[in-house]
């Protein structure tokens, strides 16, 4: 099924006696934003990390565009087209926007850093995200939290991924900064990428996602069309007031 970008089936991850994920399924299509919601410890980050190659599933399968994948590392996932922004931001305050976007993956030409090409590409990524960051030579310390998050997302575009995984990208942002990041997510979808958005904010999720997948105690506990989902129904699935019959 090549039209399905990512297909996860029966994902189970045990940490000793802790069942972080139990038999979880997930599909992501091209040009689709799928939100994963759930209470603390529901298994959201664990699923994201498995998809990103950071954790290996205890059992279960993953397919990317119909090809079975079993990533041994984040760089393997990245090479296959899966890029991730994690809950904990890892950016260098004293470096400029371009350097942060290419950190650890600098472009070289004849053994020298190709500054010009990196700045050009950085600009292109920012434009693709409809970012208002004026210059790629601005130091990170001079940017707002929302603009920094935009740099983190732009960073994932290096290497033209197919799927982007965002683990709580708006967690520490103000209302307007959140709106800014959500519009970046829409821009990604508009270029045909698949996006997995993990969030605690049902308002954000309903604003930007196409589909909402609920995890509870590591298991699927509901799937909603974001445009039609009633707030109370999603909430009930999160808190366990409604249980998915399987």
**Which residues make up the interface to ligand ATP (CB under 6 A)?**
15, 18, 20, 38, 40-46
- Report the partner that residue 38 touches, choosing among Mg ion, ligand ATP, none (CB closer than 5 to 8 A by kind): ligand ATP
- Report the partner that residue 176 touches, choosing among Mg ion, ligand ATP, none (CB closer than 5 to 8 A by kind): none
Nearest distance from C-beta of residue 32 to ligand ATP, angstroms: 21
Q: What are the two backbone dihedrals, phi and then psi, of residue 64, each rounded to the nearest 5 degrees?
A: -115, 115
Query: Cα separation of 175 and 110, whole Å?
Result: 45
Among the listed residues 45, 131, 147, 156, the single contact to Mg ion using CB under 5 A: 45
Q: What are the two backbone dihedrals, phi and then psi, of residue 226, each rounded to the nearest 5 degrees?
A: -60, -30
Whole-number Cα distances in Å, 225 to 19, 60, 83, 164: 27, 25, 25, 20
Q: Within 10 Å of residue 89's Cβ, how many Cβ atoms? A: 14
- Report the partner that residue 42 touches, choosing among Mg ion, ligand ATP, none (CB closer than 5 to 8 A by kind): ligand ATP
Window of 7-15, 38-46, 156-164, 211-219 that interacts with Mg ion by CB under 5 A:
38-46
Nearest distance from C-beta of residue 209 to Mg ion, angstroms: 17
Q: Within 10 Å of residue 128's Cβ, how many Cβ atoms? A: 17
Q: Within 10 Å of residue 117's Cβ, how many Cβ atoms? A: 14
Return the number of the residue (71 or 125) whose C-beta is nearest ligand ATP: 71
- Rule CB under 5 A: is residue 149 a binding residue for Mg ion? no
Q: Decide: 75 and 111 in contact? Cβ < 8 Å.
A: no
**Residue 66, class by beta-carbon neighbours within 10 Å (0-12 exposed, 13-18 middle, 19+ buried)?**
exposed
Nearest distance from C-beta of residue 84 to Mg ion, angstroms: 12
Size of the site for Mg ion (CB under 5 A): 2
Query: Cα separation of 76 and 151, whole Å?
Result: 22
Nearest distance from C-beta of residue 40 to Mg ion, angstroms: 8
Nearest distance from C-beta of residue 101 to ligand ATP, angstroms: 26
- Report the partner that residue 41 touches, choosing among ligand ATP, Mg ion, none (CB closer than 5 to 8 A by kind): ligand ATP
Query: Given the rule CB under 5 A, which residues bind Mg ion?
Result: 44-45
């Amino acid at each position: 099924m090549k039209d399905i970008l990512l297909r996860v089936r029966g994902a189970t991850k045990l940490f000793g006696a802790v069942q972080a994920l139990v038999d979880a399924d997930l599909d992501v299509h091209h040009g689709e934003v799928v939100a994963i919601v759930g209470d603390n410890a529901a298994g959201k980050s664990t699923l994201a990390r498995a998809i990103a190659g950071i954790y290996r599933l205890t059992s279960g399968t993953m397919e990317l565009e119909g090809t079975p994948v079993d990533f041994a590392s984040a760089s393997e996932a990245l090479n296959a087209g899966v890029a991730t922004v994690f809950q904990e931001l890892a950016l260098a305050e004293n470096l400029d926007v371009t350097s942060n976007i290419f950190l650890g993956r600098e472009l070289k030409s004849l053994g020298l850093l190709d500054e010009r090409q990196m700045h050009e590409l950085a600009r292109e990524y920012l434009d693709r995200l409809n970012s208002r960051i004026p210059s790629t030579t601005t130091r990170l310390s001079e940017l707002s939290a929302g603009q920094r998050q935009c740099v983190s997302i732009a960073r994932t575009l290096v290497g033209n991924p197919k799927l982007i995984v965002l683990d709580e990208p708006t967690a520490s942002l103000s209302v307007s900064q959140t709106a800014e990041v959500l519009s970046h997510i829409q821009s990604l979808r508009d270029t045909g990428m698949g996006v997995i958005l993990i969030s605690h904010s049902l308002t954000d999720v309903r604003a930007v996602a196409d589909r909402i997948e609920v995890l509870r105690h590591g298991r699927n506990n509901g799937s909603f069309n974001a445009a039609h989902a009633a707030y109370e129904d999603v909430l009930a699935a999160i808190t366990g007031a409604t249980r998915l019959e399987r």
